[in-house]
Amino acid sequence: MAWFRKNKSGDAGGKSKVSDKQMARLAKKAAKRERRQLVIMPPEGVPLTLVPAGLGGRLGAQLLDLFFTLLIGMVLIFAAFYAFQGLRASSAIIIVLTFFLLRLPYYIVTEIIWNGQTPAKRILGLRTVSVNGKGLTIYQIVVRNLLREIEFFSPVTYLLAGASDPGILTLIAALWTVVVIIVPLWNRWNQRIGDILADTAVINTPKPALLPDVAIAKPSGALSANSRSSENPLGRWRDRSSGGSAQEPVYTFSRAQLDHYGRHELQVLETVLRTDPGQSDKLQQERRANLGRIARQIGKKIGYGNLISDREANDFLAAFYRAERAYLEERNLMGDRRDDKNYR
Amino acid sequence: MNDQSKQSATAPRHENETRSVRFRREREAEWEELAGLLTRVERKGAGKLSFLEAQRFSQLYRRTINSLSLARSISMDASLLTYLENLSTRAYLAVYAPRERLDRAIVRFFMASAPQAVRRNAWFVVLAAALFAMGGGVAFVLVSTDPTWFEAFVGERLASGRGPSASEADLRASIYPDNAGSFGNLSFFSFYLFTHNTSVAFFSFTLGVLAAVPTGFLTFYNGTILGAFFAVHEAKDLSLDLLGWLSIHGVTEIAALLFASAGGLKLGSAILFPGDNTRTRALRMAGPDAVKLALLAAVMLVMAAVLEGYGRQLVTDLTTRLVIGWGIGVLWLLWFLLAGRTRKRTSMASDPEFDTQAINADQRSN
């Protein structure tokens, strides 16, 4: 709600330093988020924006997969030792071979079957995608997982096995392990070397949820949870305002009034209107007070006066949102893009 | 268009609504339908859809992504945009899933891609072999003239007592263990050797990215280890026995190392000589073949480990060792030379008439 706060300080007399700093910080944050976004171009020609998985998620998935493979491997090894007593003599090589033979197929097969998801990625909601916009190919899956073996497991196995032998290979292995850990920290999509070579990235699987449109909601209905409760003080106002047709606007705004804001403010208002305070009375009251402050601020700015009470705020803001959106969309169609209130 | 007029006729109360609201109302059902199909595809795979459902699925995907494009230009509803973006992305990921079946990919790798990659990159393999041989030759000469060089080439653990100071009897005992089948501390040694060789193979592949220099060095260095061992055994007149001892798994293992470094050299040459491409692009183009070589090396290393685990200690007769080791080597060679040759290419060389017929047949069937 930075736009709202900025209005306030603007009224207090010129732009204060704090708000400038805040704006700069917000802009920086937004720019960072944008830079991190992964835009892929599917063959249909409509760019899709994906959110790369964070470092924590990736690390968690790696550890979880490691745990799974260790578990399976150990079960297999104990079973093998139990079945063939003779194997115990050459246990070390059997163990290394089993893990090697298990790990690579584990990752490759699951990613092929589940379209870029290992069991851990499935649990944590991550997914491997191809950056080039075509589908993942088996080649890409093989490369990124083969390189995991090369990147991480073989140097680590080597270090564990040959650590007491400080030769040149040990040095290379140690350096390499450091490089491998640094690479995902340094690039914007947290790709590891295997990802870079295979041209893949790991993303958070998006969860589509279709929310009700704020613009079609009946005045003050369905928008807020508090309209459901019977002791809602808004009820009286709603009855009065929707005396005629349900769709008839009670509040009307002129073009000059709607000219004050742009797309960004509209979308912030949308978020504000969507917040669901839940059943708690305290939170509901807080929301109402908040909406009231925002409504009065807008009212002041657009010359509606300072008269909107907390009770009316929801209706007012919903009506304002509808009018503003219709207006901005119309302007947009005419080629007049207004990204935010500073569009001029 | 038809739908639109019908709806506005039946629902006059929407007359005054915002364009983006109408946009959503008209398409919402399709999106929900796609979301329903999508959930099924993600849970059970696209193979479980019926033909009509699959057709509908791809149709809905295209319509939804079209909606997204439209919504971006007309709608200011942030949540709608997010929803469409997420839905389209999910559907895109489901529609453009890996298409090849796993078993076919594996069969194709062994029947065609791997040997083809070896043949295409024969010169890199030859280069790796030459570096390896050079290392071996240099170390052999140096250790033969001055045994103290041995320490420089072979680490203590790798040597495990079989240096120049070892007696002939010791060396012979390590080549021909008294009681065949008892692994003893050799098990640990072979484990060490296996991890050592695997790491060398992996490093010589990966470090190829650094302009091929580390790969060349590692290959050379690996050759020196072998050369040094041979020099020590030659001094005791045991080199043929060492060859037998090594052959049984070494032919496969050293071939694997050579393929790994050939892959690394391929990557390195893409960095050094990108031609008309950028280096990244050249690296990506070199990738498929290099990765095939690396996979091949991994398969061969595993085979070598199995041979080592069983063969080396169980088969103690020199001739048998040589026959098994090099016999397997010949089999590898035959595979690389013969497998995955397409009929077209051979026929082009031998019988152009046949080939044009085949092409015509292809065109007719298309």
The pTM score is: 0.69
The pLDDT value given to residue A320:
82
pLDDT tens sequence across B107-161: 888 888 888 888 888 888 888 888 888 888 888 888 777 777 777 677 666 666 6
* CB contact A169 to B (< 8 Å): yes
3-state class (DSSP) for residue A269: helix
pLDDT tens sequence across B34-72: 888 888 888 877 777 888 888 898 899 999 998 898 888
Do B20 and A135 make contact, defined as CB atoms within 8 angstroms? no
Quote ipTM for the complex: 0.74
The pLDDT value given to residue A87:
58
pLDDT of B189 higher than 50: yes
Percent of chain B with pLDDT strictly greater than 70: 75
* Range with lowest mean pLDDT among A153-157, A216-220, B6-10, B149-153: B6-10
State which of A53-62, A185-194, B68-77, B169-178 shows the largest mean pLDDT: A53-62
The pLDDT value given to residue A119:
92
Radius of gyration of chain A (CA): 29
Nearest partner of A131 among A76, A75, A198, judged by Cα: A198
State which of A146-150, A176-180, B31-35 shows the largest mean pLDDT: B31-35
CB atoms within 10 A of CB A122: 16
Chain centroid offset of residue B76 CA? 47
pLDDT of B293 higher than 60: yes
Structure-model confidence comparison of residues B154 and B333, the more confident one: B333
* A282: its two tokens: 């305290």
DSSP string, A16-78: -HHHHHHHHHHHHHHHHHHHH-EEE--TTS--EEE-BPPHHHHHHHHHHHHHHHHHHHHHHHH
Nearest partner of A165 among B121, B252, B160, judged by Cα: B160
CB atoms within 10 A of CB A25: 11
* A63: its two tokens: 């550890």
Structure-model confidence comparison of residues B348 and B256, the more confident one: B256
The pLDDT value given to residue B147:
73
Percent of chain A with pLDDT strictly greater than 70: 74
Mutate to test the interface with B, among A329, A330, A337 (most CBs of B within 10 A): A329
User: Rounded CA gap, A292 and B364, in Å?
Assistant: 75
* CB contact A179 to B (< 8 Å): no
Residues A87-93 have a mean pLDDT of 60
Nearest to A146 among B78, B199, B295 (CB): B295
pLDDT of B181 higher than 50: no
The pLDDT value given to residue A151:
72
Residues of A in contact with B93 (CB under 8 A): 115-116, 127, 129
The pLDDT value given to residue A225:
38
pLDDT tens sequence across A184-235: 887 888 888 788 878 889 988 888 777 777 766 554 433 443 333 333 333 3
The pLDDT value given to residue A93:
64
pLDDT of B27 higher than 80: yes
Angle between helices B122-145 and B213-235 (to 10 degrees): 40
* CB contact B200 to A (< 8 Å): yes
Residues B234-262 have a mean pLDDT of 79
Q: For the purposes of burial, counting CB atoms within 10 Å of the CB of B353, is it exposed (0-12), middle (13-18) or buried (19 or more)?
A: exposed
The pLDDT value given to residue A220:
42
* Mean predicted lDDT score pLDDT of chain A: 74
pLDDT band at B356 (very low <50, low <70, confident <90, very high): very low
pLDDT of A41 higher than 80: yes
User: Rounded CA gap, A205 and B55, in Å?
Assistant: 24
Nearest partner of A226 among A293, A311, A112, A163, judged by Cα: A311
CB A101 within 8 A of CB A109: no
3-state class (DSSP) for residue A335: coil
pLDDT of B241 higher than 50: yes
The 3-class SS string of chain B reads CHHHHHHHHHCHHHCCCCHHHHHHHHHHHHHHHHHHHHHHHHHHCHHHCCHHHHHHHHHHHHHHHHHHHHHHHHCCCHHHHHHHHHHHHHHHHHHCCCCCCHHHHHHHHHHHHHHHHHHHCHHHHHHHHHHHHHHHHHHHHHHHHCCCHHHHHCCHHHHCCCCCCCCHHHHHHHHCCCCCCCCCCHHHHHHHHHHHHHHHHHHHHHHHHCCCHHHHHHHHHHHHHHHHHHHHHHHCCCHHHHHHHHHHHHHHHHHHHHHHHHHHHHHHHHHHCCCCCCHHHHHHHHHHHHHHHHHHHHHHHHHHHHHHHHHHHHCCCHHHHHHHHHHHHHHHHHHHHHCCCCHHHHHHHHCHHHHHHHHHHHHHHC
pLDDT tens sequence across A105-126: 899 888 888 888 899 998 998 9
Residues A287-300 have a mean pLDDT of 82
Count how many residues are written for chain A. Answer: 344
**Locus of tokens 């246990």:** A91
* Range with lowest mean pLDDT among A34-38, A274-278, B158-162, B348-352: B348-352
Report the gap between the CA of A329 and the closest CA in chain B (Å). 6
Helix (H) or strand (E) holding A157, with range, is: helix A154-162
Structure-model confidence comparison of residues A136 and A153, the more confident one: A136
The pLDDT value given to residue B96:
84
For strand A200-204 and strand A126-130, is the pairing parallel, antiparallel, or unpaired?
antiparallel
Given its phi and psi angles, is residue B259 left (phi above 0), alpha (psi -120 to 50 degrees) or beta?
alpha
For chains A and B, count residue pairs whose Cβ atoms are closer than 8 Å.
210
CB A128 within 8 A of CB A111: yes
pLDDT of A253 higher than 70: yes
Report the gap between the CA of B351 and the closest CA in chain A (Å). 34
* Mean predicted lDDT score pLDDT of chain B: 75
The pLDDT value given to residue A14:
39
Nearest to A161 among B69, B85, B192 (CB): B192
* CB contact A329 to B (< 8 Å): yes
Percent of chain B with pLDDT strictly greater than 90: 1
